[in-house]
Amino acid sequence: MNPHGAGTSGEGGKETFIQRVIGFCAVNRYLTLLAVVAACVLAVYTLKDIRLDALPDLSDTQVIVYSRWDRSPDIIEDQVTYPIVTALLGAPNVKAIRGFSDFGFSYVYVIFQDGTDIYWARSRVLEYLSKIQSRLPKGVQTELGPDATGVGWVFQYALVDRSGTHSLDQLRSYQDWTLRYAIQSVPGVAEVASIGGFQKQYQVTVDPNRLAAYGIPLTMVTEAIRMSNNEVGGRLIEFAGAEFMVRGRGYMKKPEDLEKVVVKTGPGGVPVLLQDIARVSLGPEIRRGVSDLDGMGDHVGGIVVMRHGENALNVINGVKGKLSELAPSLPKGVEFVTTYDRSDLIHRAIGTLKHELVVEMVIVSLVILIFLWHVPSALVAIITIPVSVLLSFIPFYYMGLTVNIMSLAGIAISIGVLVDGAIIEVENAYNKIHQWDVGGRKEDFHQVRLTALKEVGPSVFFSLLVIAVAFLPVFALVDQEGRLFKPLAYSKNLAMALAAILAVTLNPATRMMFARIEPFTFRPKFLAKLATRAFVGTYYAEEKHPGILAKSTGKAVLVSGLTTVVGFGSLFEKLSK
């Protein structure tokens, strides 16, 4: 049997790698503390840019193919939706394809296997669509949906005219041609969808009797209108040493311009204008829905959709900043009204978890202080909690993970376990120092502390890693289950792994720094006595620990357990709201 116990030097007095790490950090404690502080600064920096959201994104990697064609649903299904679906069946990593046909449009949802990069998937869909474009009917307009997910809807606003001097079609035109492009320039915004109001269009109402009288078919009218709204360019003419550009101006700017379109040339060269056979006016496009605001009637608004993988909070703040910039340029009497803002949900969800994390840290710290009854030893374990939690955000940031209630819940359930290694190390060092004090202080005090740390350090390190291994089966989950619980497993395992590293690096350094055996002797004496009792303390034998703890151990365990239960109960109650 090894007389030194588990985790001590092996045969021939050789130290393990973990023991050498403990010795290095204990001797170079200021260098170790400097490295930990630098890591904490990096963690604080990453917290500014880390992705935040209220809930994990459970949506699949999906690409939407949108097609428009003014035909009935059965014709669109046969000539548009079915060819697209059959062409995409052979695309790599495709898990499922769903088609949906309606009057005038078609949706094809291409769902890829879990873990497929969204932009790789979009490029594959475009590649396969290019092969069937020639087989689609003439006039079919096909495009891809935005590079967003099902939870990309992060912000929505409405344009409210307090003065009542602006019509809905004017507000919709301002939204479509000014606001939408300005908001789309915000980093992280995939699309701005306009809703409500009326989309202005030129409407030509043809008189069938006049068409018959002039002998003009309807196709000739549509072709004349299509060809008239155009501009052409000619060559240059040099005249008197100057160049003049020749061009034809033909863009429509008002209904009167459309009325002057020549549809046909009659006998004798008399032109038949559009106004001779039809009535031209401005009117709204046919609507299939309405946008109501608080029961006050139709309003114009916009829906901001976030790009896949972006920081929801940063995108929302960027949109708010852009709206603040655009507010002075709005038409007189018009203002923005926020109708949906996910940032409030994100702040409240993250705030609830942060509050409960602080409560748990305080409870665990109090329990450590009560059970150890030695402030310098308790500080070593207490420092481990916030440092482990803070450093766990560094790999979170570089792994591209999102901080949400599930990932923070993983940290919450590991709070009590994070300090297990530190408690074992300081308790062992506490007993060794007491035995050294009782035995006449024959050895060097620093060597006693270092030997105590090396004795249990390796065992503590690997025991914490074993606890982290317990959550590895969670990574075997796939699809929605995996996307829901993997953030919890990542945060739990990362926090435990960092706690194991800190147990053999930071804990030895802080233990060598805070442990002191000689009392303070400065003046005034009463302050020296207070400092001695607080920062030096008294080392008791295990059987002679202060009576307040020995008599009420069961009560303390019960109180701490009830406090933890109450803390988690309040957490779940807040989350349910």
Q: What is the 3-state secondary structure (H, E, C) of 285-322?
A: CCCCCCCECCCCCECEEEEEEECCCCCHHHHHHHHHHH
Residue 573 pLDDT: 54
Task: Output the pTM of the full model.
Answer: 0.76
Contact present, 506 and 422 (Cβ < 8 Å): no
Residue 515 pLDDT: 64
Contact present, 8 and 455 (Cβ < 8 Å): yes
Contact present, 148 and 191 (Cβ < 8 Å): yes
CB-based burial, 504-529: b 16+ in 10 Å, e otherwise: bbbbbbbbbbbbeeeebeeeeeeeee
Residue 304 pLDDT: 94
Tell the residue number behind the tokens 């702040």, with chain if given. Answer: 347
Residue 537 pLDDT: 57
Residue 502 pLDDT: 86
Residue 184 is encoded by which pair of tokens? 């789309």
Contact present, 277 and 221 (Cβ < 8 Å): yes
**Length, in residues, of the chain:** 577
Residue 184 pLDDT: 92
C-alpha 88/C-alpha 101 separation (Å) is: 16
506: nearest Cα among 433, 395, 418? 418
Residue 552 pLDDT: 42
Q: Three-state DSSP class for 340?
A: strand
Residue 550 pLDDT: 42
Domain ranges (residues) in the chain: 11-55+346-517, 60-148, 201-284
Contact present, 388 and 357 (Cβ < 8 Å): no
Residue 78 pLDDT: 92
60-148 adopts what CATH topology? Alpha-Beta Plaits (3.30.70)
Residue 380 pLDDT: 73
The CATH class that applies to domain 201-284 reads: alpha beta
C-alpha 321/C-alpha 337 separation (Å) is: 14
Distance of CA 82 to the CA centre of its chain: 36
C-alpha 27/C-alpha 23 separation (Å) is: 6
Stretches where the chain sits below pLDDT 50 are 1-12, 547-560, 562-564, 566, 572, 575
Question: Using the 8-state DSSP alphabet, how is residue 104 labeled?
Answer: T
Contact present, 259 and 228 (Cβ < 8 Å): no
* CATH 3.40.710.10 fits domain 11-55+346-517: no
Q: For 393, list phi and psi in degrees, rounded to 5.
A: -80, -15
Distance of CA 66 to the CA centre of its chain: 26
Contact present, 504 and 461 (Cβ < 8 Å): yes
Residue 7 amino acid letter: G
